[in-house]
């Protein structure tokens, strides 16, 4: 009971220190509100409002129908340009796509003669260029088939989008940003709190008190866990579900449970990194590549399936990889506890490993 009391008082001390630091409070609020909203609504790789031009050398009813079929929100209203303007327009970055319809376009198709269309693409934005070229091809073929009465293929493929029926990127990006924010702050706040004790000279005061390294570590992690988990939950409910209108399919309490386990393991990693450095600047330089690497390899930005097989196996030991898979199952697919229990088990195991390493390193540092 005495040990629990020490942890409680140390936790309250950490919360008061955090409350007295307006910069850290502003960082927490910004990370889970403005950053989540702006990333979800502003960072897009799919085709939206792309600038397109059409070189119509046929001036037929079919060529006008193809031009009219290039509609928002995928594309801006097509601009009509001359063939000599194609290269200068692309060089100047005025258009991403330029579709060229040759002379006798409609008459050649009606006479069953081969027709070559040209599509110039500014491929500096690779994802948008590839997807947009595929959309334009589908639109052109569909318009030609509709206007000329081309027979439909004998097989029709019905596509159903599950978990995101409208294909809105905000649904995925907003949730992933909440998890990335949780990762970043879970590393920075506990590590900064430990280094602040050393830089302000209050670490010696703690050592003079009847507290143990374990109690200090639990207080550092526990205080920041309260703040970060509460902020992540409010961000999920108010920003993601409220402001961005992203439906939450699964259990929010189950997500909070997984967030707590994840936060404890990553916070222990933050304390471990702090014990390896002597200043806040060194800690920032060390923590930056760590959480960037963990984000890039977690599956929150790029699919794990696109990675080499050996790398897919290696990243399974990262807490972020397990947490992203857990959160996607709960929030998007409505998974229950039984389905995500293996992920939680791995997170608990990784948390114990990081916590044990941080505790051992903290004892060694305090002894020095």
Can you tell me whether residue 118 is helix, strand or coil? Answer: strand
pLDDT score, position 300: 77
Among 333, 351, 189, residue whose Cα is nearest residue 255:
333
pLDDT score, position 155: 44
Question: What is the DSSP code (8-state) at residue 158?
Answer: P
Q: Is the pLDDT of residue 250 over 80?
A: yes
Whether 197 contacts 67, CB under 8 Å:
no
Mean local confidence (pLDDT), 277-297: 86
* Joined tokens for residue 206: 């703690």
Q: How far is CA 248 from CA 164, 171, 178, 191, 341, in A?
A: 11, 10, 13, 32, 19
User: Each residue of 121-148: pLDDT tens digit?
Assistant: 887 655 667 788 888 888 888 888 888 7
Query: Higher confidence at residue 11 or residue 236?
Result: 236
Transcribe 73-108 into DSSP letters: TTBPPPEE--GGGHHHHHHTT--SEEEEEPTTHHHH
* Joined tokens for residue 352: 């114990």
In the chain, what are the domains?
2-32+168-367 (no CATH), 52-148 (3.40.1710.10)
Residue 312: pLDDT band with limits 50, 70, 90: confident
Q: Is the pLDDT of residue 350 over 50?
A: yes
Q: Is the pLDDT of residue 3 over 90?
A: no
Q: What is the mean pLDDT of the chain?
A: 84
**Rounded distance, CA 277 to CA 164, Å?**
44
- Apex CA 234: angle with CA 257 and CA 349, to 5°? 20
pLDDT score, position 1: 62
Name every residue whose Cβ is closer than 8 Å to that of residue 7 and which is 6 or more positions away in sequence: 215, 218, 219, 222
Q: Is the pLDDT of residue 49 over 70?
A: yes
């Amino acid at each position: 009971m005495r040990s629990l009391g020490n942890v409680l008082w140390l936790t309250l001390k950490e919360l008061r220190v955090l409350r007295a630091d307006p910069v850290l409070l502003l960082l927490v609020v910004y990370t889970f509100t403005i950053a989540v909203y702006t990333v979800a609504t502003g960072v897009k790789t799919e085709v939206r409002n792309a600038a397109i031009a059409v070189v119509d050398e046929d001036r037929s009813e079919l060529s006008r129908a193809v031009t009219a079929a290039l509609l928002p929100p995928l594309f801006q209203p097509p601009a009509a340009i001359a063939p000599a303007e194609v290269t200068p327009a692309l060089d100047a970055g005025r258009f991403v796509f330029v579709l060229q319809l040759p002379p006798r376009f409609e008459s050649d198709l009606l006479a069953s003669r081969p027709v070559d269309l040209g599509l110039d693409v500014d491929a500096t934005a690779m994802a948008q260029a590839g997807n947009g070229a595929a959309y334009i091809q589908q639109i052109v073929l569909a318009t030609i088939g509709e206007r000329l009465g081309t027979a439909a293929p004998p097989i029709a493929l019905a596509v159903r989008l599950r978990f995101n029926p409208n294909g809105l990127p905000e649904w995925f990006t907003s949730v992933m940003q909440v998890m990335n924010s949780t990762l970043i702050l879970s590393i920075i706040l506990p590590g900064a709190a430990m280094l602040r004790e050393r830089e302000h000279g209050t670490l010696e005061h703690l050592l003079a008190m009847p507290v143990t390294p374990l109690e200090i570590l639990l207080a550092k992690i526990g205080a920041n866990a309260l703040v970060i988990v509460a902020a992540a939950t409010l961000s999920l409910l108010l920003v993601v579900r409220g402001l961005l209108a992203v439906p939450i399919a699964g259990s929010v309490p189950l997500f909070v449970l997984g967030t707590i386990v994840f936060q404890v393991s990553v916070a222990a990693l933050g304390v471990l990194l702090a014990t390896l450095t002597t200043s806040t600047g060194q800690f920032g330089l060390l923590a930056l590549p760590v959480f960037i690497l963990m984000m890039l390899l977690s599956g929150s930005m790029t699919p794990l399936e696109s990675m080499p097989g050996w790398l897919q196996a290696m990243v399974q030991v990262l807490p972020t990889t397990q947490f992203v898979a857990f959160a996607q199952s709960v929030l998007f697919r409505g998974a229950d506890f039984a389905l995500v229990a293996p992920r939680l088990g791995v997170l608990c195991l990784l948390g114990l490993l990081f916590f044990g390493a941080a505790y051992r390193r903290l004892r060694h540092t305090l002894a020095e």
